[in-house]
Structure 1
Amino acid sequence: MLFDSGRMFYGRLPRAIIGGSALLLVGILLAIFLTGALQSEPVAWTAIACALMLVTFLAFGFSRIQVLDNEVRLQWFPFYRRRIPVAAIQRAAPATIHGLRYGFGLRFGPFGLGIIQDTGPGVQLDVGRGYLLSLGSADRQERFLAALAAAGVHVQRF
């Protein structure tokens, strides 16, 4: 294995957004309970409870990126896994992920597919359609690009 990012969890901003959403949903459920709306609106409180469970489940999501001799493995727990043959990667370039421009988690956009856990250093892969991968630190970004270069991928530097 040439590179293993390990489990990369959400950064401060995504955690604050997820935590705020969870608190809001808990507040709504508490209001439903205190006002007696449990009996009159069973579908509403069930939907809010399901949303709270989903937000809580997604809060524990993580990404992992690995470079082996012949493939790059991408994982965004709990919903996405992909193996990309190194020969299919035309180019890799450093990228910077800014604020809420792309969102967080598994994202689709003009860049292709993004696995975005935090703002900061990332890498753009050109594989027919693109991949935008957040890496969380400049050191991890540099090690990932070096591993891709060692595997034979053309790496564009800053």
Structure 2
Amino acid sequence: MFQDAAVLFDSGRMFYGRLPRAIIGGAVVLLGGILVAVSSTGALEAEPLGVTSIAVALVFITSLAFGFSRIQVLENEVRLQWFPFYRRRIPVAAIQRATPAAIHGLRYGFGLRFGAFGLGIIQDTGPAVRLDAGRGYLLSLGSADRQERFLEALTAAGIHVQRN
């Protein structure tokens, strides 16, 4: 019936880099240790709400460890996904320009981020692209090759790519 537009670029699943994984892993170990300590001291009976809150935080942070992002460029739209919480389709006509960028350290944080730059999907440090579509998007791509293929696909879709 309806055929999907041709995919010009697909990043595949991009998982967190080394530093974000270390931070998430440290938080999981810390919360797990707190839960073990709390259960061994009998605080579960004294503060069940606090223990439940720690357990919920542990489950939430553990689920973030399995999060990934995926970016696709189709002939008529750009699709952004940050699993498990965010999906967005941006019509190509709404994107004024794209520029290469770089993410260094934890300046922007990691994961799904909101800031002066707009919305960021940041899985790792390194090559990224800024999209100007009314509001800004900062998309980490993890490698220079993936960044270049993404920019080429945007150009093929008719988006102005402003090279530095």
TM-score (norm 2): 0.95
Matched residue of 2:57: which SS? Answer: helix
Matched with 2:143 is 137
Q: Amino acid of the residue matched to residue 14 of structure 1?
A: P
The answer to whether 1:86 aligns with 2:92 is: yes
The answer to whether 1:74 aligns with 2:109 is: no
Q: Amino acid of the residue matched to residue 23 of structure 2?
A: I
- Size of the aligned set, in residue pairs, is 158
**Gapped runs of 5+ residues in structure 2?**
1-6
What is the CA distance between 1:6 and its match in structure 2?
A: 0.2
Matched with 1:19 is 25
The answer to whether 1:149 aligns with 2:143 is: no
**Gapped runs of 5+ residues in structure 1?**
none
Percent identical pairs in the alignment equals 80
| Pick aligned residue for 1:111 from 112, 117, 123 | 117
Matched with 1:60 is 66
What is the CA distance between 1:22 and its match in structure 2?
A: 0.3
Q: Give the RMSD, CA atoms, in angstroms.
A: 0.6
What is the CA distance between 1:63 and its match in structure 2?
A: 0.4
Task: Describe the superposition over 1:103-136 as per-residue Cα deviations: whole angstroms up to 9, x where unpaired.
Answer: 1111000000000000100000000100000000
Task: Describe the superposition over 1:136-158 as per-residue Cα deviations: whole angstroms up to 9, x where unpaired.
Answer: 00000000000000111110113
Task: Describe the superposition over 1:72-116 as per-residue Cα deviations: whole angstroms up to 9, x where unpaired.
Answer: 000001111111111111010000011110111110000000000
4+ long deviations beyond 4 Å: none
Instruction: Name the CA distance, whole Å, in 2 between partners of 1:67 and 1:54.
Output: 30
